[in-house]
Amino acid sequence: MIGRMMLCFVVALGGNTALAAPPFIFNQDTIDVTTNFRGTNLELTTFLDLDNPTIQMVIVGPRATLTFREKERRAGMWVNASKVSVEDTASYFAFIGFNEGDLEYMCASADLQGYAPKTDLSFDWVCDEEQRSLMAEKGLFVFIPPGGNQNLGRGFHRITAFVPPTAKPGAYDVRLSVNGSYADAQIDVRRAGLERLVLETAQNSRLFYGIVCLVLAALAGYLTNLIFSRRS
Amino acid sequence: MGFELHFPIADVSVSFPLLMFLGFAVGVLSGLFGVGGGFLMTPILFFLGIPKLVATSTEAVQIAGSSLSGVLGHFRRKNVDLKVGSFIAFGGLGGTTAGVILTRWLRSTGQVDTVIEVTYVLFLGFIGSLMLIESLTSRARSRSGVAKRSHAHTFLHRMPWRLKFPRSKLYMSGFLPIGLGFIVGILTALLGVGGGFIMVPAMIYILGMPTLVVIGTSLFTVIFLTASVALQQSLVNVSVDILLALCLMIGGVLGAQVGVRLASRLPAQDLRIWLAILVLVVCGKLAWDLFVFPPAISSVEVAV
């Protein structure tokens, strides 16, 4: 664990540093999504020898296509009527230590990319209040205003962001800014164990997966019959 | 509530004890009343937040397993008409293929959830009302001692390609069981139900099969229909969640055995009325979401 934290520390120091980089460590460099995964807190700890520093963090999830749908009442029924698809966008966006006004300002000046670690993605949905709140409902948009970080004393600060079970696997880029200086790092969210095995088999070997499902069903049916017909 | 499991295909976390309890409860009802239970379990999965297509596809796997468990006993007692069953299964394979293609097209238009909901409302409303009326009239009939009317011959029985079905002592068109299988197959693919509640009355009242072989033959065909749906949905829509299916199978299988044992001790006729009311309540909740106030006006789908 200590070794992994040190590795993270080194990664952070060697990251994309446009200005002097504040050193930081994560509580985990890889998040494993398993069948009993209920989401996790991604904790970043940093040491700052500064009085009242302005600490901000942006986390951007892997590339995705988002499809927003809205229901309308037609012939008395609520049906999906309009659809907006956003391609090449972030599947997760955490915005920590910023004011609501900062977000509005960045969106108005089309400057959001400047604060985010992935510049090749579109963040249009982050600037749309309705789309943003839909993503927040799924835990895929996190907004924590200034003061959300924890001052641990003696110059140590901790920032926490929740990564929900709905988080898509892939590389999550993190940018930590302190008084305008920033450093970048990457966290891996990956499917693991049975979860990974099931998903990969279902997607890559569809026929085999279907047959396995049926064999299991047949086995369950046969065994049930065997056990209960003997007992009765 | 309690220990939650994240289901990889559904991409939803659900409380494991709650899922087992619901599977068990529906299993008890299915054992008690001799119904598959898919028409209750699938809407319950909707209410738990499982995507509708995943719920219907996965439920097909569970029904295949429980139908196999049931049909083995009927085979031992020779209560299965393999010839009629094969004709229905043949039609059913066509129906399930059409149903899976239909769900794929509906998914691309974003209307799959609405169509499944509308079909469920119509279907549960019809089945629930029919069960309620049938239960009330059969209770009245058993009190008055009036005999039940047997099936009547209609134009359907004069259709071409007439064949002999010795086990059921029938001489009818081969198109009849194939057509029945086709219709039930579409419903199986769309709703994730075995279709026994349509098949059994249709076998008795339309085909005119003897009651003795009806349940076994229905279970025999349901295995083919649900297996076909599970396999095709895995291939086409990747919508079968094996972990969810396992949870449902464990809960459902245990519950069904408890239900079978309870059946001989409880007043089945009165309980059937309560089952009909339960079906109508589930139908009412789906209708409320569809016509009055949906759980969410807007939604987002994330695809990596």
Radius of gyration of chain B (CA): 19
- The whole-angstrom distance between B14's CA and the closest CA on chain A is 10
First-residue to last-residue Cα distance in chain A: 55
Taking CB atoms and an 8 Å cutoff, what residues of chain A touch B60? none
- The whole-angstrom distance between A210's CA and the closest CA on chain B is 5
> Is residue A69 in some structural domain?
no
Query: Could you state, in order of their start, the residue ranges of all structural domains in chain B?
Result: 4-292
Taking CB atoms and an 8 Å cutoff, what residues of chain B touch A225? 68-70, 72-73
Using a pLDDT cut of 70, give the percent of chain A over it.
88
Asked if residue B276 lies in contact with residue B125, where contact means CB atoms within 8 angstroms, the answer is no
pLDDT higher than 50, residue A13:
no
Nearest to B304 among A68, A79, A168 (CB): A168
> Is residue A71 in some structural domain?
no
Q: Does the pTM of the predicted model rise above 0.90?
A: no
Q: Which helix (H) or strand (E) holds A73?
A: strand A63-74
What ipTM did this prediction achieve?
0.87
In a shared domain, residues A213 and A112? no
Say if the Cβ atoms of B303 and A67 lie within 8 Å: yes
Report pLDDT digits (tens) over B18-59.
999 998 898 888 777 767 788 889 999 999 999 999 999 999
Taking CB atoms and an 8 Å cutoff, what residues of chain A touch B250? 220
> Is residue A185 in some structural domain?
yes
In a shared domain, residues A27 and A99? yes
> Is residue A80 in some structural domain?
no
In a shared domain, residues A19 and A118? yes
Residue B14's Cβ-side half-sphere holds a number of Cα atoms within 13 Å equal to 28
In a shared domain, residues A150 and A37? yes
pLDDT higher than 80, residue A147:
no
Taking CB atoms and an 8 Å cutoff, what residues of chain B touch A207? 231, 234-235
- Average per-residue pLDDT in chain B? 87
Asked if residue B295 lies in contact with residue B289, where contact means CB atoms within 8 angstroms, the answer is yes
Say if the Cβ atoms of B291 and A76 lie within 8 Å: yes
Of A204-208, B83-87, B130-134, least confident by mean pLDDT is B130-134
Residues A197-208: what's their mean pLDDT?
A: 95
pLDDT of residue B4: 85
> Is residue A96 in some structural domain?
yes
pLDDT of residue B150: 55
User: How many domains, in total, are found in chain A?
Assistant: 2
In a shared domain, residues A221 and A123? no
- The whole-angstrom distance between B102's CA and the closest CA on chain A is 17
Say if the Cβ atoms of B6 and A135 lie within 8 Å: no
Q: Tell me the sheet residues that pair with B296.
A: none
Range of the domain at A25: 2-62+90-191
> Is residue A145 in some structural domain?
yes
Say if the Cβ atoms of A218 and B65 lie within 8 Å: yes
Cα distances (angstroms) measured from residue B174 to each of B147, B161, B164 = 30, 6, 9
In a shared domain, residues A121 and A47? yes
In a shared domain, residues A172 and A216? no
> Is residue A161 in some structural domain?
yes
In a shared domain, residues A14 and A39? yes
Q: How far apart are CA A205 and CA A199, in angstroms?
A: 10
- The whole-angstrom distance between A123's CA and the closest CA on chain B is 14
Residues B9-14: what's their mean pLDDT?
A: 90
- The whole-angstrom distance between A151's CA and the closest CA on chain B is 33
Taking CB atoms and an 8 Å cutoff, what residues of chain B touch A77? 114, 118, 290-291
Report pLDDT digits (tens) over B244-297.
999 998 888 888 878 877 877 877 677 788 888 988 999 999 999 999 988 888
In a shared domain, residues A105 and A204? no
Of the candidates B147, B164, B168, which has an alpha carbon nearest to the alpha carbon of residue B210?
B168
Nearest to A224 among B232, B238, B253 (CB): B253
Residue of chain B with shortest Cα separation from A202: B238
Of the candidates A137, A178, A218, which has an alpha carbon nearest to the alpha carbon of residue B231?
A218
> Which ranges in A1-57 belong to alpha helices (H)?
2-13
> Is residue A112 in some structural domain?
yes
Read off the CATH number of the domain in which A46 is found.
2.60.40.1930
